[in-house]
Amino acid sequence: MSKLRQLFSTRQTPQNQSIPGSSQVANSAGGYAWAVDDWMQLDRFLVLGSESGTYYIRPQKLTRDNAEAVLRCLAADGRRLVARVVEISEHGRAPKNDPALFVLAMAAGLGDEVTRKAALAALPQVARTGTHLFHFMEFVEGFRGWGRALRRGVANWYAGMDAERLAYQAVKYQQRDGWSHRDALRLAHPQAPTDMHNRLFHWMTQGWNEAELAELPPEMPALKTIWAFEQAKRATSEGVIQKLIEVYNLPWEAIPAQWLASADVWRTLLPRLPLTALLRNLARLTANGVLTPLGPETQLVTERLADASQLNRARIHPVAVLAALMTYRQGKGARGSLTWNPVTEIVDALDMAFYRTFQNVTPTGKRLVLALDVSGSMSMGMVAGVPGLTPRVASAAMALVTAATERDVTVVGFSHQMVRLGISPRQRLDDAVQAVSGLPFGATDCALPMVWALENGIAADAFVVYTDSETWYGQIHPVQALQTYRQRTGIPAKLVVVGMVANGFSIADPQDAGMLDVVGFDTAVPALMSDFIGRE
Ligand code: CA
């Protein structure tokens, strides 16, 4: 190769330089990539969160970068921002609701008047539980004072909620983050829309006196929940607690701790346990002998985990299932105090439930290369703040979702070289996760999947790269490698970049219609990808 061509080419540029004439920016790793736009950054923040930072960026800086992108979205189109928050939150597309509540609080505090109004009007849609409301109240104080509009927004949350649901929320969590319903009601002074609300508000702020409690189960259903909750506090036998659960549907959070050691109490709770609570208590239920191999309770649990519509209604996110699976299979808790023998049927049911929590995907029938960035940076930090869920582990799980629906899939790994992954679509999720967790660390060259496919005669209609886009090692940029691949093979191959951390970078060229940025662990992503890849 002549010296000049080596020194300057628009078709092959080392990753530590920007592609001449492009709008690339420096990433955090000493390489060049594109900056994602503020709306994509918003999606990444909503879905992936920023609380654990990345390999390169500390949590505080990452959160500030994301908040600044939110501010720019607010300035550009506040109502679009609020609508996006509602969409991601209501459909349960993100593993955690906190970023949505945080962005909504920003909009309620820092938006223009129309935006602030829209944000407060959306409060009941985004803050669906008492805990959500308390989080919002904590966040919003960082952006504004308790003016009239905000008080009214909180008042509407209480007055607008169905009394039975409100009572259930109230006995579930009375306080969180230094906020209680009493504090919130005293600030907001909601007008009670019904007598039932009125008596609920009264209980939340002052409790009921003996005379009020003595009125045996009041006729109003919402008040029965409160009455049962008060009875549970005074209960002196297991039998009474079981009765209260059976008749009044008391949630487990409302049962005094001393009774939660009883397996019989849990047997009574089990069929009524919301799925989120079920996922969180699988270990406890196994340790206390309620869930046993081939036991009737085990069958009940596996049936519930297999019911896609139930999973969907409860907004069970795949990350919650994956986290439960990763903990449960270990047979011991993080703090080591609790141990159990994992029941195989439960492990299998969790494995299957994971796939059912994604939106339905139409297979494209295309030839796909799913390429996992397994470089060192992908093994640091946590997706959505879930312990053990590194971007690397998360990307293996995401790849399996697509691999499970498509018939022509090759899964490969890369760092500064191609890495044998040893995972297959037929493998159980936790085994695949285990397989990628133990791989050695390396530098990052995101062009490798395309270079490898060209050198090995692999025909691919699309490359899906799961990465943090902190590429810097290679002698050619990923998009240049893709363009070369397209030219040499004649296949108009597409590129999907699945962003696995909430930084601002992407290896996808925003000018190229054959490239798409999506956010890892958005439950809509496998469907979005198949749409994009299947489109002619
Ligand atoms: Ca890396």
Q: Domains in the chain: how many in total?
A: 3
- Segment holding 32, helix H or strand E: strand 32-35
Q: Work out the pLDDT band at 214, boundaries 50, 70, 90.
A: confident
Residue 320 lies in a domain: yes
Share of the chain above pLDDT 90, in %: 85
Instruction: Assign residue 413 the CATH number of its domain.
Output: 3.40.50.410
User: How remote is the CA of residue 399 from the centroid of ligand 1, in Å?
Assistant: 18
User: How remote is the CA of residue 489 from the centroid of ligand 1, in Å?
Assistant: 28
Q: Work out the pLDDT band at 217, boundaries 50, 70, 90.
A: low
Whether residue 324 has pLDDT greater than 90: yes
Check: CB of residue 163 under 8 Å from CB of residue 196.
Answer: yes
Q: Work out the pLDDT band at 229, boundaries 50, 70, 90.
A: very high
Domain boundary among the residues 252, 272, 292 is at 272
Share of the chain above pLDDT 70, in %: 99
Cα-Cα-Cα-Cα torsion 63, 69, 73, 79, nearest 10 degrees, comes to -10
Whether residue 334 has pLDDT greater than 80: no
Q: 423 and 509 share a domain?
A: yes
Identify the residue with better confidence: 426 or 532: 532
Q: 395 and 519 share a domain?
A: yes
User: How remote is the CA of residue 444 from the centroid of ligand 1, in Å?
Assistant: 5
Residue 1, pLDDT score? 62
Pairing of β 515-519 and β 494-499: parallel
Residue 414, pLDDT score? 97
Check: CB of residue 495 under 8 Å from CB of residue 34.
Answer: no
User: How remote is the CA of residue 406 from the centroid of ligand 1, in Å?
Assistant: 27
Residue 483 lies in a domain: yes
Cα-Cα-Cα-Cα torsion 483, 488, 489, 490, nearest 10 degrees, comes to 70
Identify the residue with better confidence: 110 or 385: 110
Q: 399 and 512 share a domain?
A: yes
Dig out the tokens for 535 from the structure. Answer: 């489109």
Task: Give the chain's mean pLDDT.
Answer: 94
Domain boundary among the residues 312, 336, 357 is at 357
Residue 427, pLDDT score? 86
- Segment holding 370, helix H or strand E: strand 368-373
pTM: predicted TM-score of the whole model, two decimal places:
0.94
* Helix pair angle (318-328, 344-356), 10° resolution: 160
Count, residues in the chain = 536
User: How remote is the CA of residue 16 from the centroid of ligand 1, in Å?
Assistant: 13
Q: 348 and 399 share a domain?
A: no
Question: 373: helix, coil or strand?
Answer: strand
User: How remote is the CA of residue 379 from the centroid of ligand 1, in Å?
Assistant: 9
Residue 155 lies in a domain: no
Whether residue 98 has pLDDT greater than 70: yes
Residue 376 lies in a domain: yes
In tens, the pLDDT along 51-74 reads 999 999 999 999 999 999 999 999
Q: 264 and 411 share a domain?
A: no
Residue 336, pLDDT score? 72
Interval 13-21 mean pLDDT:
95
In tens, the pLDDT along 127-172 reads 999 999 999 999 999 999 999 999 999 999 999 999 999 999 999 9
Q: Work out the pLDDT band at 9, boundaries 50, 70, 90.
A: confident
Whether residue 533 has pLDDT greater than 70: yes
Any residues with CB less than 8 A from the CB of 125 and at least 6 apart, and which? 86, 89, 90
Q: 432 and 462 share a domain?
A: yes
Residue 489 lies in a domain: yes
Residue 7, pLDDT score? 75
In tens, the pLDDT along 271-312 reads 999 999 999 999 999 999 999 999 999 999 999 999 999 999
Does the CA dihedral 307-308-309-315 come out positive or negative? Answer: positive
Q: 255 and 400 share a domain?
A: no
Residue 85, pLDDT score? 98
Q: Work out the pLDDT band at 215, boundaries 50, 70, 90.
A: confident
Whether residue 218 has pLDDT greater than 70: no
Residue 181 lies in a domain: no
Q: Work out the pLDDT band at 177, boundaries 50, 70, 90.
A: confident
Interval 18-47 mean pLDDT:
97
Whether residue 216 has pLDDT greater than 70: no
Q: 369 and 495 share a domain?
A: yes
User: How remote is the CA of residue 56 from the centroid of ligand 1, in Å?
Assistant: 9
User: How remote is the CA of residue 376 from the centroid of ligand 1, in Å?
Assistant: 5
Residue 333, pLDDT score? 85
Domain boundary among the residues 206, 237, 272 is at 272
Buried b (16+ CB within 10 A) or exposed e, 411-436: bbbbbbebbebebebebbbbebbbbb
User: How remote is the CA of residue 395 from the centroid of ligand 1, in Å?
Assistant: 13
Residue 38 lies in a domain: no
Residue 435 lies in a domain: yes
The residues whose Cβ lies within 5 A of ligand 1, an ion, are 375, 377, 444, 470
Q: 369 and 412 share a domain?
A: yes
Q: 442 and 523 share a domain?
A: yes
User: How remote is the CA of residue 470 from the centroid of ligand 1, in Å?
Assistant: 5
Q: 426 and 520 share a domain?
A: yes
Q: What angle do CA 88, 89, 95 make, to 5 degrees?
A: 90
Its domain, for residue 414, covers 361-534
Q: 373 and 496 share a domain?
A: yes
Q: Work out the pLDDT band at 35, boundaries 50, 70, 90.
A: very high
Question: 521: helix, coil or strand?
Answer: coil
